[in-house]
C-alpha cells in the first residue's frame, strides 16, 4: 500500500485489531488506527450494508448472510486473495480454521454493488 514513504519497511506489529505499527530504515515508524485496511477499500458502515458476518471474531467457521447472489472473496490486510466462493444462498458457512489469527476483509460483489466488511480470526 502507498505510505508516502520511500524507506524500506521491515517490521509490523498489531497490539490490537485496529492499532498497528510499521518500522523501517531511517527511523521510520508508521501507525494505523483502522486495522491497516487497503487504500481505496472502506468498510461499509451504513444501514444499506446487507452483508452480515458472524460470529465476529471467530475461531473457526464464519456465517455469511446476504440477500444477494454474488462472489465472496476473503483478503488479508496485504490485499492477498485467500479464498473466493460464489454465493447462491442467503446464508453460507465459510471455514476459516486454516487462517492465522488476525484481521481479514470480506468483499462481496453482487448485482447491486460491492460491500466490504472486516472480520477477526482468533
Task: Copy the grid coordinates of residue 7.
Answer: 524507506
Q: Domain for residue 89, yes or no? A: yes
Q: pLDDT, tens digit, for every residue of 68-110?
A: 899 999 999 888 999 999 999 999 999 999 999 999 999 999 8
Q: Domain for residue 87, yes or no? A: yes
Task: Copy the grid coordinates of residue 35.
Answer: 486495522
Q: Domain for residue 97, yes or no? A: yes
Give the pLDDT band of residue 52 (cuts 50, 70, 90): very high
Q: Domain for residue 46, yes or no? A: no
Residue 20 has pLDDT above 50, yes or no: yes
* Contact by Cβ (8 Å): 96, 53: no
Give the pLDDT band of residue 45 (cuts 50, 70, 90): very low
Distance CA 56, CA 10 (A): 30
Q: Domain for residue 42, yes or no? A: no
Q: Which one has a higher pLDDT value, 2 or 45?
A: 2
Q: Domain for residue 102, yes or no? A: yes
Residue 21 has pLDDT above 60, yes or no: yes
In terms of domains, do 108 and 57 share one?
A: yes
Distance CA 25, CA 29 (A): 9
Task: Copy the grid coordinates of residue 84.
Answer: 473466493
pLDDT at 40: 46
Q: What is the mean pLDDT of the chain?
A: 81
Distance CA 26, CA 2 (A): 18
In terms of domains, do 116 and 86 share one?
A: yes
pLDDT at 30: 78
In terms of domains, do 20 and 61 share one?
A: no
Domain around 100: 52-121
Cα angle 61-68-100, degrees, rounded to a multiple of 5: 25
27 φ/ψ angles, rounded to the nearest 5 degrees: 75, 15
Q: Report the domain count for the chain.
A: 2
- According to DSSP, the β-strands at 70-75 and 61-65 are unpaired
The pTM is what?
A: 0.61
Amino acid at each position: 500500500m502507498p505510505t508516502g514513504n520511500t524507506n524500506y519497511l521491515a517490521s509490523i506489529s498489531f497490539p490490537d485489531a485496529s492499532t498497528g505499527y510499521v518500522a523501517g530504515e531511517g527511523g521510520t515508524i508508521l501507525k494505523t488506527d483502522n486495522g491497516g485496511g487497503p487504500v481505496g477499500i472502506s468498510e461499509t458502515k451504513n444501514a444499506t450494508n446487507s452483508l452480515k458476518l458472524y460470529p465476529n471474531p471467530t475461531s473457526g467457521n464464519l456465517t455469511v448472510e446476504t440477500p444477494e447472489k454474488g462472489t465472496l472473496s476473503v483478503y488479508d490486510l496485504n490485499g492477498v486473495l485467500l479464498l473466493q466462493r460464489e454465493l447462491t444462498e442467503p446464508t453460507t458457512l465459510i471455514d476459516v480454521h486454516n487462517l492465522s489469527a488476525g484481521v481479514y476483509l470480506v468483499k462481496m460483489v453482487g448485482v447491486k454493488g460491492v460491500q466490504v466488511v472486516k472480520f477477526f480470526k482468533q
